Chains A and B, each alone.
Chain A
Amino acid sequence: KNEVEQSPQNLTAQEGEFITINCSYSVGISALHWLQQHPGGGIVSLFMLSSGKKKHGRLIATINIQEKHSSLHITASHPRDSAVYICAAHRSNDYKLSFGAGTTVTVRA
């Protein structure tokens, strides 16, 4: 079983819809990252969370440490949000990152 599980694997939404991506982890963490990877390959760090909730523009990330679960929400989705979103857990024992398999998000105009 992977240390980090993401769902769904793929997601298609109409422009304007609310999108949620879920991430569960089974290891002790110091922080959890949400990353965005566009088709060109480059990775952008969207959020780093160790507790609670963070908001940046139309993106919201939450984490529940007790339940070992995090969610990434995209409000009022737009075609430019189409990308692969990756959840990565920063392991507290060795500071390495464990990655989820990624969620491919496609937003149609």
Chain B
Amino acid sequence: GAVVSQHPSRVICKSGTSVKIECRSLDFQATTMFWYRQFPKQSLMLMATSNEGSKATYEQGVEKDKFLINHASLTLSTLTVTSAHPEDSSFYICSAQEMDRGVTEAFFGQGTRLTVV
């Protein structure tokens, strides 16, 4: 199956700094990527839909100025957590979808564990 690579897998940063997380589709072109957040013992929560060449679409309640998404190419989307606070500590996962013969399959990155101290 297709591969989605997410980097870094773990990051610790100080409050007030910004952190960038990269999501790459390695062997297919992804016009759309999705960013999720997962709190402990909970399922994935969609934060935003990243569209290549256009602005991201954010879910209700997600601050677009805090979680900056850039999808500059068909293989790379980035999520930047700006002015990080301890409450931003979480597990962030990206996914990319590939349409194959009319069926859309989803592939997930390995996730990034963000800890803000």
Question: Nearest CB to that of A92 among chain B residues?
Answer: B104
Interface of A is mostly: strand
CB <8 Å contact, A97 and B110: no
Q: Of residues 51 to 89 in A, which have CB atoms within 8 Å of B's CB atoms?
A: 86, 88
In Å, the complex CA distance between A19 and B104 comes to 28
Q: Contacts A48-B103, A50-B103: A97 and B46 contacting too (C-beta < 8 A)?
A: yes
CB <8 Å contact, A96 and B103: no
Q: Of residues 22 to 74 in A, which have CB atoms within 8 Å of B's CB atoms?
A: 30-31, 33, 35, 41-45, 48, 50
CB <8 Å contact, B104 and A90: yes
CB <8 Å contact, B104 and A30: yes
| Least Cβ–Cβ distance between A88 and chain B, in angstroms | 7
CB <8 Å contact, A95 and B104: yes
B residues in contact with A86, CB < 8 Å: 43-44
Interface of B is mostly: strand
CB <8 Å contact, A31 and B103: yes
In Å, the complex CA distance between A43 and B3 comes to 12
CB <8 Å contact, A88 and B106: yes
| Least Cβ–Cβ distance between A44 and chain B, in angstroms | 8
A residues in contact with B97, CB < 8 Å: 95
In Å, the complex CA distance between A97 and B38 comes to 14
CB <8 Å contact, A45 and B113: no
**10 sample A-B contacts, Cβ–Cβ < 8 Å, listed by A number:** A30-B104, A31-B103, A33-B106, A42-B109, A95-B32, A95-B97, A97-B46, A99-B43, A99-B44, A100-B43
Q: Spell out A's residues near B (CB within 8 Å).
A: 30-31, 33, 35, 41-45, 48, 50, 86, 88, 90, 95-97, 99-102
A31-B104, A41-B93, A96-B46 are known; give 11 further A-B pairs, CB within 8 A. Answer: A31-B105, A35-B108, A41-B110, A42-B109, A44-B108, A45-B106, A86-B43, A88-B106, A95-B104, A96-B49, A97-B44
